[in-house]
Amino acid sequence: MTRDATHDVTNQAPPLAGHDVSADQALLEGLAREGADWATGELRRLGLLAGSEKAQEWGRLANEHPPVLRTHDRYGNRIDEVEFHPAWHELMSVAVGNGLHASPWTSARPGAHVARAAKFFVWSQVEAGHGCPISMTYAAVAALRHSPSLRAEWEPLLASRTYDFGLRPPLEKRGVLAGMAMTEKQGGSDVRAGTTRAEPLGDGSFALTGHKWFNSAPMCDAFLVLAQAPRGLSCFLLPRVLPDGTRNAMRLMRLKDKLGNRSNASAEVEYDGATAFLVGEEGRGVRTIIEMVNMTRLDCVTGSAAGMRQGLSQALHHARHRSAFGRPLADQPLMRAVLADLALESEAATTLMTRLAGATDRAVAGDAAEGLFRRAALAAAKYWICKRAPVHAAEALECLGGNGYVEESQMPRLFRESPLNGIWEGSGNVAALDLMRVLAREPEAVEAFFAEVARAGDHRVGDAAERVLKTLASAGEADARRVAEEMTLVLQASLLVRHAPAPVADAFCASRLGGDWGRAFGTLPAGLDLEPILERAASA
Ligand SMILES: Cc1cc2nc3c(=O)[nH]c(=O)nc-3n(C[C@H](O)[C@H](O)[C@H](O)COP(=O)(O)OP(=O)(O)OC[C@H]3O[C@@H](n4cnc5c(N)ncnc54)[C@H](O)[C@@H]3O)c2cc1C
């Protein structure tokens, strides 16, 4: 034996690359069921790119070289620009080129929002950080429709499939992106406490003075901003560059040093009489911007479901290629129990995500019943799916053992990203309290929710729904999390009973509807048939 032979590498899993990220049965079946099977070809092409080594390298580089703030040029002039690594721009180009930022707004084709959500789900698995401006641009269009003139000017640019980076007059660009600025130092959930002032300038525009504490993707071309106008809190469109080419008075004070989401820039900003234009009615800012938040909340669910699928894929792959105690991990009963449980959670999240995207599609097209269902179901799902993502990521990471704790495995990045969807667009408590508001004030939405659950026609789901309904009558604010969790679980169980193979639905009902929730992954009840669950998770 030569000395070099001591460095032979054995029993290490090869990198998971060169695969089709969209090869995911729960996703593909959901896509078809919700009316977007016409997008299968595009999705699979994106899936192959997402699984390529090239795209994974973009994801790594964009995170290892986080954005840098340049407040001034070399002569001391303020420029307020953020510099990104070229890999960020590659990721953004693919996302915009595939219409992840706006495609449903230019297509009346049924299933357009579903197709877009499925693509967002697949492409997020390469790198989640750049999903932020992509998601905000998609969502901004919904709010901008409250202002026909701004819509006419901006929507074609927002919907363009060209990623055209840089601060220039928006109307001279080939494509633009939009962000959102609501959160201030003194409060984020309580947006009505905002102190930024908006003074009318007499020509239809307003001058904004104040600050925002979190303003992600500050190189976007425009932001929807909340500010206090004479008639109350209102929503404004604030362009970064004015039509005459001068930069609007929006200063980037510093970038946040974040736990995860490191490829994306999140700035603290100040407005010093920045020019902005009213969107919707003055004094009805929350009502206007909530249209945007409703869309970004769907992406929080989609992004969390995508993270679960990514973690599951990595865990399955590792377990297949790594042996311990003489057998592949994937063949060890306890590891199989863990993997099957992770697969169940991932499939339940994916199935609910596609159902919500379908409801969005139909609600936007004018289906009131779907709008009501979506109202209740999205509030519950935003709470529970986002809440499950970090524990799922931690468990998937542990399946890789020590390798999962090392950056090269991508698992630390997935783990650091995982709590974020639970925080923004309404943190856990706020999402759960939103559901309580629906329960108190929108009985038709609650009815639509439980009518959907009942469609399973299954006694296990029916019994669990009965139990939940009984507790609703006496539930107060302090019970909001339990209510949101239980409502999501009965909805997920109902969808799986209708749409997933019986072993998946049976295992979900047996482990999630019993009311003794709170166990770790890998504690499924005895006697379940795990084989089909694992086979399904591993192939498409
Ligand atoms: C990486 C990142 C990027 C972000 N980007 C943006 C952005 O681009 N634009 C933007 O506007 N914001 C952005 N945010 C801000 C985010 O939306 C807020 O952090 C979030 O809404 C919570 O607001 P807060 O931080 O002020 O917390 P608070 O409102 O102070 O809430 C603190 C905690 O109290 C809970 N809570 C609040 N009210 C209640 C209540 N009534 N009962 C019980 N519990 C309650 C919350 O759930 C939370 O857990 C970003 C945040 C992060 C982390």
Residues 63 and 207 in one domain: yes
239 falls within a domain: yes
Question: Which of 235, 418, 430, 479 gets mutated to test ligand 1 (max ligand atoms within 8 A of its CB)?
Answer: 430
Amino acid at 278: L
pLDDT value of residue 519: 73
Same domain, 260 and 344: no
Residue 235 placed within a domain: yes
Please say which residue of 283, 316, 335 terminates a domain.
Answer: 283
Out of 283, 305, 336, a domain closes at: 283
- Angle (deg, nearest 10), helices 112-124 and 285-321: 50
Check whether residue 63 and residue 161 sit in a common domain.
yes
Q: Is residue 530 part of a domain?
A: yes
What global pTM score does this model have? Answer: 0.97
**Tens-digit pLDDT profile for residues 49-87:** 999 999 999 999 999 999 999 999 999 999 999 999 999
Specify if 442 maps to a domain.
yes
Q: How far is the CA of 329 from the centre of ligand 1 (A)?
A: 40
Is 246 in the same domain as 364? Answer: no
Looking at the structure, tell me whether residues 302 and 339 fall in a common domain: yes
* φ and ψ of 228, to 5 deg: -85, 110
334 is a domain residue: yes
Between the CA of 480 and the centroid of ligand 1 the distance, in Å, is: 17
Is the predicted pLDDT of residue 520 greater than 80, yes or no?
Answer: no
Residues with CB under 6 A from ligand 1: 179-183, 187-190, 214-216, 258, 261, 266, 420, 423-424, 427-430, 433
Residue with tokens 């580089």: 61
Query: From the alpha carbon of 184, which atom of ligand 1 is closest?
Result: 26
Assess whether 322 and 257 both reside in one domain: no
Per-residue model confidence (pLDDT) at position 516: 64
Are both 238 and 89 inside the same structural domain?
Answer: yes
Distance from the alpha carbon of residue 91 to the mean position of ligand 1, in angstroms: 27
Nearest protein Cα to ligand 1, atom 23: 188
Q: Are residues 297 and 258 in the same domain?
A: no
Residue 429 counted as domain residue: yes
pLDDT tens digits, one per residue of 330-376: 999 999 999 999 999 999 999 999 999 999 999 999 999 999 999 99
Q: From ligand 1's centre to the CA of 301, what distance in Å? A: 17
Structural domain for 87, as ranges: 25-283
Cα of 208 from ligand 1 centre, angstroms: 22
What tokens appear for 236 in the block?
């404004």
pLDDT > 90 fraction of the chain, expressed in percent and rounded: 94
> Quick one: pLDDT at residue 268?
98
345 and 243 assigned to the same domain: no
C-alpha 447/C-alpha 122 separation (Å) is: 33
Tell the burial category of 274 from Cβ atoms under 10 Å away from its Cβ (0-12, 13-18, 19+): buried
Dist. CA 375–CA 380, nearest whole Å = 9
Whether 186 and 242 have beta carbons less than 8 Å apart is answered as no
Which atom of ligand 1 is nearest to 420's Cα? 53
Domain count, the chain: 2
